[in-house]
Structure 1
Amino acid sequence: MNEDSGGKGEAFGRSEARPWLDRYPLQIPHSCEYPKTNVAGLLFDAARDYPDNEAIDFLGKRYTYKALLRECRKFANALRSGPGFAKGDRLAIMLPNCPQAVIAYFGGLMAGAIIVQTNPIYTERELHAQLADCGATTLVTLDLLQSRALKAKEGTALGRIVVTSLSDGLPFPKNALYPIKRRKDYPDLKVDYRAAGVVRWSRLLRKGKSAPICEEADAEKDVAMLQYTGGTTGNPKGVMLTHANLLANTAQLAAWCYRLEDGKERYLAALPLFHVFGLTVLMNLAVKKAGSLILVPRFEPRAVLESLRRRRPTVFPGAPTMYIALLNSPLAKPDDFASVRVCVSGAAPLPRDLQEKFEQQSGGRLIEGYGLTEASPVTHCNPVWGYRKFGTIGVPLPGTEARIVGESGLDPLPFGELGEVVVKGPQVMAGYWNRPEETADALKDGWLRTGDIGTMDEDGFFTIMDRKKDLILAGGYNVYPREVEEILFEHPAIQEASVLGVPDEYRGETVKAYIVLKVGWQVSEMQLDKWCRERLAPYKVPKAYEFRTSLPMSLIGKVMRRKLKEELAEREEGNIKIN
């Protein structure tokens, strides 16, 4: 414990059920004040107080907060002046980290849209399923992805596709050189701006007026965003996050990182903004603190190291796989991380040796947190400055309650006993889009059942012991075995298939498929890999295949994944003994 540690009495109702409050640093309140406005108010405040501060740096192209607000207003006005767009319509954004992603997000919120973040590496099948479920009427995407979007559009409510290019956000002369590189890298790419409903990003913004616009929001009732998650079943579900949910989680994180100064920090955005982790801890938090958002289109060690050297960021949220790749890169230099003061790691367990090595090189703090899409997403975090415990996810954020419960109800279990983690707080979702039964299953008396199994100790620190029954967490992405298995079952050579996560030093877990072939059929790993890559996003594709004559089955004919895991553990134990 250091000078920041200590408790503060009864501000949040201190009781034996909330032992974590005694471990809060003195500077952190037990609860926060949460704005009751449109999320776009974060940008209005930053542009008012720090108009000339840098808001975005994209490979050398910089926007001040005043300029960013102007571009967002132009997008919002153009969106609302278009045919058939009204408050509550869904705006899908399928972009990598680039200025257009930020402009479409805040501009869409100003226009009264419900934002739907979409993964740019989704296949046509995956994109169609999401668009059909959410009923999006407008999609903003890259020229590289236009063909996929046009194919996925069929049978959905999508009427307008706004197509942009990375060159739209690049500085001169990179914006002039990019089309040459694009033609070289994608010689077969054809962008059809004459297709029905397709609009150029640049033309849309030229038509948009920079006049003030902001649709008022009933923050606690109006949905700001649908963030898709598969849950434990693998069926895509739109998590309804209200304006109040997103603003609350942003305020909680700002309070947690209390040493960060308004208008002075630089946030390295290597996490994708289309993921709720990156959206909250980077885009929303950076704008709330009027900091500079240093955008990296995709995580690649060389590009991230260049950004670290060029801009010397002070805040760098990420996943363990990112820190591992950077520290192990032959291009890394000892002082590359010296400017970083705060790193919040999520999406996978944080190894202690990685934490210690990164902190030694940076001089900053790398701490582990926890969250889930249904909670906007952060619910727990180790104190950045103060008492922390290695191997834990930390303690609940201000205004957040959490407990460990058994199968029979919501009564808390004793310290150290294993059970399900449940949470309650202003960041917890309103429910699942058009899924009342699944909403009722997930939310009980205001408590969100996470499905994650863990413990809480006497100090209020939580440890996750196991995740949702079948969920695979590969490099920070959720992979649902059932979805992968269904694709494998479609292959004519496959009789039985089962998928589970296996340990991976880099990705935390990776996907392994167990295959039983039909009699007389033969198929190679390479052929199955091609089959899956044509139908699944890359992170869902199995990285290993094991061909077997049978799979362990229960009496009712269900594959027993537990048995497969036990076999794998025994095999690994045997390898360790041999070595």
Structure 2
Amino acid sequence: MLFDKPWLRHYPAEVPPTYAYPEQNLAQFLVQSAEANPKGCALDFFGKKTTYARLLEQSYRFARALLRLGIVKGDRVAVMLPNCPQAAIAYYGTLLMGGIVVMTNPLYMPRELEHQLTDSGARLIVTLDVLVSRVKSSMRDRPLEKIIVTRLQDYLPFPKNALYPLKARKEGMKADVEYGEKVLSFTALLRQSSPDPVEVPLKPAEDLALLQYTGGTTGYAKGVMLTHSNLVANTLQTRLWFYRSRAGRERYMAALPFFHVFGMTVLLNQAISLGCTLLLVPRFEVGQVLRLIDRKKPTVFPGAPTMYVAMIHHPDIGRYDLSSIRVCISGAASLPLEVQSRFESLSGGKLIEGYGLTEASPVTHANNIWEKRKNGSIGIPFPDTEAKIVEPDTLTEVAPGEIGELAVKGPQVMKGYWNQPEETYKCLKDGWLLTGDLGRMDEDGFFYILDRRKDLIIAGGYNIYPREVEEVLFEHPAVEEAIVAGVYDPYRGETVKAYIVPRAGAVPDEEELKLWCKGKLAAYKVPKIYEFRESLPKTLAGKVLRRKLVEEEAARLQGPSDDEMERKGG
């Protein structure tokens, strides 16, 4: 067994290679924590605290509200909220009554929303007052049955709740909401609903808890079907890895968004399963986060590399005490060694890199927190998780040290893609999930990712799908051809660069194209760099060679070779 799974030699004695995962509703973690510690603090929203008993009661009320609105087991409920108490209430309330949660990014523009809501068949959405007009605009052709509206100030403490509307107006966020038969108040619905427990029978291994949207290398995002069993397993796998966690005593800095599956598992689900406190941050602002760490003393801080980069480079970093942080898990993009070392020296805690993908709930690998770890590695597979490097065409396993495609297998691997059996067939083979990422495994069983999915751009931890951006650029009347690629960025890891061939006689400029894209795409997808060309490199068949552009960009960053300098007399 050790020969087949060399990584088991490096498991801490406290971490079991296999575990018996309970067959239960994912929301049962909340029920159990509320029973064990009803007065414990579950959520801290800028000083407004919600106990476990209160969170469960509010979640039951939300579940009852959905049932009164005619939502039944298996219906899709979209949740388009930042990290706030309402997000947790809507999430667990939907799960309790057997609904399927569709976590939706509040940054999405109408065309992005339209695809996700239409594809999932969501019957209603829970969102902020300032986002209602965007939701309505996206669903003109297929209006949602109900829009449930909440306000951030409803769960803020005094005086922040009184000051927040002024701040929102100052930032240009308008909230013109006309309540009626189809537009309902979140707080009113909860007041009108019973707090009696809701327990809808389900089959955890079959019934979906979540439709989480992700993309491949091209086209629109696909709905990943994650069952209750998938998410229960991954929650417990992450807990087993964090074997020194203290139930009821950890404080989680929740700056990663819950609508991202990484934040959902390692923050929301893990903290709730342990009966611990989530310090909710609706939007990552480095100064605010540093102040919260200094004041609230979180012990666990999962994040994306860009968060740690922003913190270590903050001009006033020396003024803040980070010593409360014991454990940080970095995901969503590769973690530079210098960032890891600097953050560990500042905090005194451990910052480890892990690996996952939406299709695996998401975590499959991580470096040991307190034992052997290797720089540049994504670590070793989690309990009950198998991993191998295969030859992409034949799927035969390659020898240690050889490069191939990473394949994973385990209880956290998705059921498939929503309404896309062909796409499911392409990446699920006999229970093995083909990740599309190239990597290698060394003799010790530590894995390394060498290249991300072909063409996928990962900027600041967000996945950006080139085709979606290109379609927006193509719609501009002055654009003849357009292609986008990820280019190196010292802060975001990658940033989006657009290569444009203008139409004859047209003279588009960078600012004009930026404004065009900002009206149709989330801000993080908008190209930051533009290069205007007479033509794009193509194959004989007319296919644009995106990789050629990426190689040119890499060569440009490296500068001229010694031979070239010598020829130029340098």
Task: Quickly name the TM-score band, shorter chain normalised.
Answer: over 0.9
Using the TM superposition, give the Cα deviation of residue 502 of structure 1 relative to its aligned residue in structure 2, in angstroms: 0.4
Match of 1:564 in 2: 549
- Residues 357 and 431 of structure 1: is their aligned pair in 2 closer, same or farther, counting only changes over 3 Å? same
C-alpha separation between the residues in 2 aligned to 1:571 and 1:179?
Answer: 47
Of 57, 65, 73, the residue aligned with 2:44 is: 57
Q: Which moved more, 1:334-343 or 1:19-28?
A: 334-343
Q: Say whether the 8 Å CA contact 1:232–1:469 is kept in structure 2.
A: yes
Using the TM superposition, give the Cα deviation of residue 174 of structure 1 relative to its aligned residue in structure 2, in angstroms: 1.7
Using the TM superposition, give the Cα deviation of residue 305 of structure 1 relative to its aligned residue in structure 2, in angstroms: 1.0
Of 463, 467, 491, the residue aligned with 2:452 is: 467
Q: Say whether the 8 Å CA contact 2:2–2:9 is kept in structure 1.
A: no
For 2:405, the aligned partner's letter is: E
The answer on 1:417 being equivalent to 2:429 is no
C-alpha separation between the residues in 2 aligned to 1:203 and 1:261?
Answer: 37
Q: Which moved more, 1:339-348 or 1:561-570?
A: 561-570
Of 331, 339, 359, the residue aligned with 2:316 is: 331
Of 113, 136, 139, the residue aligned with 1:150 is: 136
Using the TM superposition, give the Cα deviation of residue 128 of structure 1 relative to its aligned residue in structure 2, in angstroms: 0.8
C-alpha separation between the residues in 2 aligned to 1:153 and 1:488?
Answer: 22
TM-score between both structures, scaled by the size of structure 2: 0.97
For 2:94, the aligned partner's letter is: G
* Structure 1 runs not aligned, ≥5 long: 1-13
Deviation track 1:121-155 (CA, whole Å, cap 9, x = no partner) reads 10011101111000101100000101011122223
Q: Which moved more, 1:363-372 or 1:488-497?
A: 488-497
Using the TM superposition, give the Cα deviation of residue 187 of structure 1 relative to its aligned residue in structure 2, in angstroms: 7.0
Q: Say whether the 8 Å CA contact 1:226–1:241 is kept in structure 2.
A: yes
Q: Say whether the 8 Å CA contact 2:291–2:320 is kept in structure 1.
A: no
Match of 1:356 in 2: 341
Question: Mapping of 1:72-87 within 5 angstroms?
Answer: 72-82=59-69, 84-87=70-73
Using the TM superposition, give the Cα deviation of residue 183 of structure 1 relative to its aligned residue in structure 2, in angstroms: 3.5
- Residues 362 and 506 of structure 1: is their aligned pair in 2 closer, same or farther, counting only changes over 3 Å? same
Using the TM superposition, give the Cα deviation of residue 498 of structure 1 relative to its aligned residue in structure 2, in angstroms: 1.3
Match of 1:517 in 2: 502
Of 139, 154, 168, the residue aligned with 2:154 is: 168
Using the TM superposition, give the Cα deviation of residue 433 of structure 1 relative to its aligned residue in structure 2, in angstroms: 0.5
The answer on 1:112 being equivalent to 2:98 is yes
Using the TM superposition, give the Cα deviation of residue 377 of structure 1 relative to its aligned residue in structure 2, in angstroms: 0.3
Identity %: 56
For 1:131, the aligned partner's letter is: L
C-alpha separation between the residues in 1 aligned to 2:165 and 2:552?
Answer: 52
Match of 1:291 in 2: 276
Deviation track 1:527-551 (CA, whole Å, cap 9, x = no partner) reads 0001111111111110100111111
* Structure 2 runs not aligned, ≥5 long: none
TM-score between both structures, scaled by the size of structure 1: 0.95
The answer on 1:93 being equivalent to 2:79 is yes
C-alpha separation between the residues in 2 aligned to 1:252 and 1:323?
Answer: 24
Of 314, 317, 330, the residue aligned with 2:299 is: 314
C-alpha separation between the residues in 2 aligned to 1:394 and 1:185?
Answer: 42
- Residues 385 and 189 of structure 1: is their aligned pair in 2 closer, same or farther, counting only changes over 3 Å? same
The answer on 1:476 being equivalent to 2:454 is no
Using the TM superposition, give the Cα deviation of residue 172 of structure 1 relative to its aligned residue in structure 2, in angstroms: 1.9
Using the TM superposition, give the Cα deviation of residue 328 of structure 1 relative to its aligned residue in structure 2, in angstroms: 1.0
Deviation track 1:216-244 (CA, whole Å, cap 9, x = no partner) reads 22110000000000112232210000000
Match of 1:27 in 2: 14
C-alpha separation between the residues in 2 aligned to 1:190 and 1:432?
Answer: 36
Of 239, 246, 257, the residue aligned with 2:242 is: 257
Question: Mapping of 1:124-135 within 5 angstroms?
Answer: 124-135=110-121
C-alpha separation between the residues in 1 aligned to 2:314 and 2:371?
Answer: 30
For 2:140, the aligned partner's letter is: E
Deviation track 1:455-510 (CA, whole Å, cap 9, x = no partner) reads 00001111000011110000000011111111111111111111110011100000
Match of 2:411 in 1: 426
Using the TM superposition, give the Cα deviation of residue 193 of structure 1 relative to its aligned residue in structure 2, in angstroms: 1.6
For 2:6, the aligned partner's letter is: P
C-alpha separation between the residues in 2 aligned to 1:44 and 1:500?
Answer: 46
C-alpha separation between the residues in 2 aligned to 1:266 and 1:368?
Answer: 20
- Residues 181 and 157 of structure 1: is their aligned pair in 2 closer, same or farther, counting only changes over 3 Å? closer
- Residues 521 and 297 of structure 1: is their aligned pair in 2 closer, same or farther, counting only changes over 3 Å? same
Question: Mapping of 1:503-542 within 5 angstroms?
Answer: 503-542=488-527
Using the TM superposition, give the Cα deviation of residue 176 of structure 1 relative to its aligned residue in structure 2, in angstroms: 2.4
SS across alignment from 1:359? helix
C-alpha separation between the residues in 1 aligned to 2:284 and 2:549?
Answer: 33
Q: Say whether the 8 Å CA contact 2:130–2:174 is kept in structure 1.
A: no
SS across alignment from 1:234? coil
For 1:312, the aligned partner's letter is: K
- Residues 334 and 20 of structure 1: is their aligned pair in 2 closer, same or farther, counting only changes over 3 Å? farther
C-alpha separation between the residues in 2 aligned to 1:352 and 1:187?
Answer: 39
Using the TM superposition, give the Cα deviation of residue 385 of structure 1 relative to its aligned residue in structure 2, in angstroms: 1.0
SS across alignment from 1:366? strand
The answer on 1:193 being equivalent to 2:179 is yes
For 1:137, the aligned partner's letter is: R
Match of 2:145 in 1: 159
Alpha-carbon RMSD: 1.4
For 2:80, the aligned partner's letter is: M
Using the TM superposition, give the Cα deviation of residue 50 of structure 1 relative to its aligned residue in structure 2, in angstroms: 1.1
C-alpha separation between the residues in 2 aligned to 1:353 and 1:68?
Answer: 40
Using the TM superposition, give the Cα deviation of residue 357 of structure 1 relative to its aligned residue in structure 2, in angstroms: 0.8
C-alpha separation between the residues in 1 aligned to 2:394 and 2:126?
Answer: 44
Q: Say whether the 8 Å CA contact 1:37–1:216 is kept in structure 2.
A: no
SS across alignment from 2:559? helix
Structure 1 consecutive aligned stretches of length 4 or more whose deviation exceeds 6 Å: 575-579
Using the TM superposition, give the Cα deviation of residue 334 of structure 1 relative to its aligned residue in structure 2, in angstroms: 5.7
Of 16, 20, 29, the residue aligned with 1:42 is: 29
